[in-house]
Amino acid sequence: MSANQVFEDAKWIIEALENHGHHAYFVGGSVRDYLMDKHISDVDITTSALPEEVESIFDKTLPIGKEHGTIIVLGSGQQFEVTTFRKDGDYVDHRRPTSVQFVTDLYEDVARRDFTMNAIAMDKSYQLHDYFNGLKDINNKIIKAVGTPIDRMEEDALRIMRGVRFQAQTGFNIDDETKEAMSQSAHLLDKIAIERIVVELKEMISGNYVYHIIQTMKDMAIFKYIPFFKNINLETIFIPQHSNFELWIASLCYIYHLELSSLNHLKISNKEKHEIISYYNLFNEFENRNISKVEMTSMIYNYGNNKVNKVIQFIYENNQSLNIQFHPTIMNTILVNEIYDKLPIYDKSDLSINGQIIMNEFNKNGGPWIKDILNKVEQAVILNKVNNTQNELIEWVRENVEI
């Protein structure tokens, strides 16, 4: 879908608001990405209409965020955020305003935003309303705060992380005054919920221009104020070029010998922790060893070919930092995929025997011994020591396992 089509699909909302005597514009990230010729998935709309007026104009709405002026408008299988022009009250926690005040002036609405490239509004005819020269800064590849930079950063310290994230995503330089304000305000990050910071870090590390932010992060000493990262030498902190959040965090644990319990500081989900620990274990599996094909087979079965290949590629690209002996004859995609494709099973549930069959066959009650047998059978099947048929597996157990 073209960028124009995304706006065209939402134009009916602006037209409906205008037909009722209100002003309305596209605003924020969608306008920025449109001007940068980047993919746009959704659009936000800002309007002079009050939330109650928005609800009265459209048949299907959701009052999510209504207290802050936002109404979700539903239509044709899509949903659109429509937010009343507003200006923020005082910030007391360096994150959120104590109040919002609805206004009728577009300028006041965009003046509260973080960076000039995010403060551009656009009407339904694609005419820009660019009070802070955001388009100029985009063309000059500059990330610049709206208004007085130190005020913007002290209002909401998360903007520091957003600025770095935008740099990683765009490759733009950060305006000197804005960068200085970000640096001066970095200590306020310890007042920001780690969950919000992690969201920014995930987008940052997956950016196409991560190398642009390495010096920025060191100059500002931003990590000094973020849990988990505080225990890392900030002068040498490893920031990879091609990664995802879980792989990056795993590599930091490996390189700096961090306890895995330190992951709790990030307040991430158990699924994400499990992913990080898997990557961490794979780094250790590959560490300074001549891995046998048997070990490689077990590794690929336990972690899957995609994850193993991802770690091999990561080691290859970052071996100077990881310092893991690289064995190209073993650590290569072709071999990994070949082993994976030839695995006789891909999960313990694929075995032709289970606990009930074992209990019946050996006439014993359940207990930990069953799990032990199934683990041994699983390994034997993976390594092609026995075929995965019920009779052959039972016979293998009789011959190889003391019950």
Quick one: the chain helix, strand, coil %, rounded to 5?
55, 10, 35
Element containing residue 45 per DSSP (H, E): strand 44-47
Residues in the chain: 403
Give dist(CA 180, CA 154) in Å, integer. Answer: 12
Per the DSSP assignment, residues forming a β-bridge with 46 are 25, 83
User: Residue for token digits 């290569």?
Assistant: 332
SS3 307: helix
95 is in an annotated binding site: no
| 180: phi then psi, degrees, rounded to nearest 5 | -65, -40
Q: Are strands 24-27 and 86-88 parallel, antiparallel or unpaired?
A: unpaired
156 annotated ligand-binding residue: yes
Q: Which residues contact 248 (CB under 8 A, 6 or more apart)?
A: 205, 239, 240
Round to whole Å and give the CA distance between 302 and 371: 17
Residue 159 among known ligand-binding residues:
yes
- According to DSSP H, which parts of 20-130 are helical? 29-35, 51-57, 106-111
Q: Is 350 annotated as a binding residue?
A: no
Owner of token pair 């959120």: 96
Structure-token pair, residue 145: 């705060």
Look up residue 91 and give its DSSP letter: B
Is 289 known as a binding-site position?
no
Query: Which DSSP state fits 352?
Result: S
Q: In what order do the strands lie in the sheet with 24-27?
A: 61-62, 70-75, 78-84, 44-47, 24-27, 121-122, 128-129
Binding residues for ATP: 29, 32, 113, 156, 159, 162, 165
Binding residues for Mg(2+): 42, 44
Binding residues for CTP: 29, 32, 113, 156, 159, 162, 165
Binding residues: 29, 32, 42, 44, 113, 156, 159, 162, 165
